Each structure stands twice: as structure tokens, then as C-alpha cells.
Structure 1
Amino acid sequence: MLFLGLLLAALAGAVIATVLTVRGFRASGRLRTAALLVGAGAVALYAWGLLNVGYAVLQAEDGGAGSAPAGPCREAGPQVASLVVGYDVSFLPLRFECRLTGGGAYVTSAVPGYVNQGTAGLGLVAATCAVLATTTARRVRPPVA
């Protein structure tokens, strides 16, 4: 069920990124256009990360012979993988974690390293452009009498 939710969230992210891109190309003003296009990039990158987490969850929930430990948790090697008792998904930052018997956990490489950093960077640039676009638009408009 988690996989389906992640898949739907990733699809929603793709739709939002497309809408922001179209609005960005139709926007008037360089800062507003930049804010919308960079924001679309941030949403698209996060959606890509959601797809990666969804694939890891799909592997983890795949039952059958050789399904323990979960597929993404095997990358740590057989000694650590034998201690895996479950997994967790984190959305901020986006990651797939394997829980260990002693109460610890480790993060897998299911989500590429650039996803969280890129999403945060693009989000900050988009927010900065949006704030600048709003403040410059207020300065340019004549006061309403």
C-alpha cells in the first residue's frame, strides 16, 4: 500500500512540475519566470526521489524465496543485513532506512545523493526568486487611489 501512495505522490509531483513549467513560460517578468521554472525543477527532482523510494519499498515488500532481508538492505553486506528487522521511509529528507535488531538503523543508497541536496537548493532559489519578484512587483505598481 505504501508503494501505491509513493507512486501516486510521484505522479502528482510530475503533474505539478509540468503545470509550473507551463506557467513559467507564460509568466511575465524574469524573476517570476525563474521562480516557477526553478520550482518546477525542485518538484520534479523530489518526484524522482519518490520514485526511487517507491522502487525500494516494492523490492522490500516482495515476498518469496530470498526476500529476507529486504532487497535494498542487502547492500551493507551479509553480516549487517542479517541484523535487519524492518525498514522505514523518511520524506524529509527523502530516504529509505533499514532497522537493525539493536535499535539502530542505516540509510541505503535507494535515493541518489543528489536528490535531497538538489531539491533543497532548487527550492531555496525558487523561494528567493518568488520573494524578489513579489517585492519588485509591489515597488513598480503605482499606488491605488
Structure 2
Amino acid sequence: MLEFFVLVAVVLAGLVAAPVLFILGTVVLVRSSSDAGPSGGLRGVALLSAGGAAAAYLWGALHLLGAVLTTDDSGTDAFPIQPCREGGMARAETVVDHSVSFLPLRFTCELRAGGGYTVAVPGYVNPAVGVLGLAAVACGILAGAAGERSDRKRSPAP
């Protein structure tokens, strides 16, 4: 049940963070077009990359939330749990438990014989979050370095 509340909080945060980061990134890019230095453009790209990472994570969290919502169903069609049926009924009948991971986003169906398989979250989500997140960090670091370098050039030496 805790997984559900955490996922709802993550989805709500993502619904706010992704658009805000996209808007801020766009504003910074537009304003930096008149600036001679590269730091403003890099800051804008960093914010847009962070917005993309937040949007990709949100997309995966929505898939994960859907899977978690269907695991608590009860009744005649409750076993095997619905998300684990994506791996085929033969394999789903050997599922004994499931687990949810938030980093990386993953819904794992655990098998009786050991091991497990992942379902629900599209395979492209975690790599997209990783690449966009790294791009945001790299551009942010480069923007800071470029801004510091341009500040040194502008200030006169004592």
C-alpha cells in the first residue's frame, strides 16, 4: 500500500516538475540568444534535459502505478496478478510475489524457482531518464564553468 502512495506523490511531483522545467528552459534559451556567452544556452539545455528526464520518469511512474493498482484486485481473476500475465500465463502461474523499484523504475514478478522478470514499465524509460539526466548534469556543469570563465574575462585584474 505504501508503494501506491509513493507513486501518487511521484506522479503529482512529475506533473508539476516537467512542465516547469520545460518552461524555464525555454525562457532561458530565448533570453540567452541575445547574450554573447554560451553559459545561458547551456543552462537552458540543462533545464530542458532535466524536464525531459522528469517527463520520462513520470511516464514510467504512470505505468508502474497502473501495475500496482491491478495487483490488489481480489476475486476469481486475482491470481496470477494481472501485471505478471504480460510474461505469459505459463510463467505467470509460477509467480510467488512481486516487488517495485523506484530507481530504476521496475515492477518485478518473482518466480517460485528463484529470479524474476520485469513488466509494466516500457524498456526505453530507464535509459531515457539516465541519458537525459546525465545530459542535464553535464550541461549544468559546463554552464557553470562557462559562466565563471566569462566572469573572469569581464572583471579587471587587480
The alignment's TM-score, normalised by the length of structure 2, stands at 0.84
Q: How does 1:14-93 map to 2 (within 5 A)?
A: 14-27=15-28, 28=32, 29-93=40-104
Higher mean alpha-carbon deviation, 19-28 vs 6-15, is at 19-28
Aligned length: 144
Whole-Å separation in 2 of the counterparts to 1:4 and 1:63: 20
The AA in structure 2 aligned to 1:24 is: G
Deviation per CA, 1:26-52: give whole Å up to 9, x if none: 324111011001110101110110110
2:147 matched to which residue of 1?
Answer: 137
Name which one, 1 or 2, has greater alpha-carbon Rg.
2
Partner residue in 2 for 1:124? 134
Instruction: Give 1:112's aligned residue.
Output: 122
Please give the alpha-carbon distance, in whole angstroms, between the structure 1 residues aligned to 2:60 and 2:9: 13
Q: Is the 8 A contact 1:18 1:40 kept in 2?
A: yes
Task: State the superposition RMSD in angstroms.
Answer: 1.6
AA partner of residue 13 (structure 1): G
* Offset of residue 59 of structure 1: 1.1
Q: CA deviation at 1:73?
A: 0.6
SS of equivalent to 2:10: helix
Structure 1 stretch displaced more, 127-136 or 76-85: 76-85
Deviation at 1:81, TM superposition (A): 1.2
Kept in 2, the 8 Å contact 1:53–1:111? The answer is: yes
Q: Measure, in 1, the Cα distance between the counterparts of 2:78 and 2:104.
A: 26
How far 1:123 moved relative to its partner?
0.9
Shift of 1:117: 1.0
TM-aligned CA deviation for residue 4 of structure 1: 2.9
- Report the residue type matching 1:130 in the other structure: G
Give the CA deviation at 1:102: 2.2
- TM-score normalised by length of structure 1: 0.91
What 5-or-longer segments of structure 2 have no aligned partner? 33-39
Q: Percent identity?
A: 47
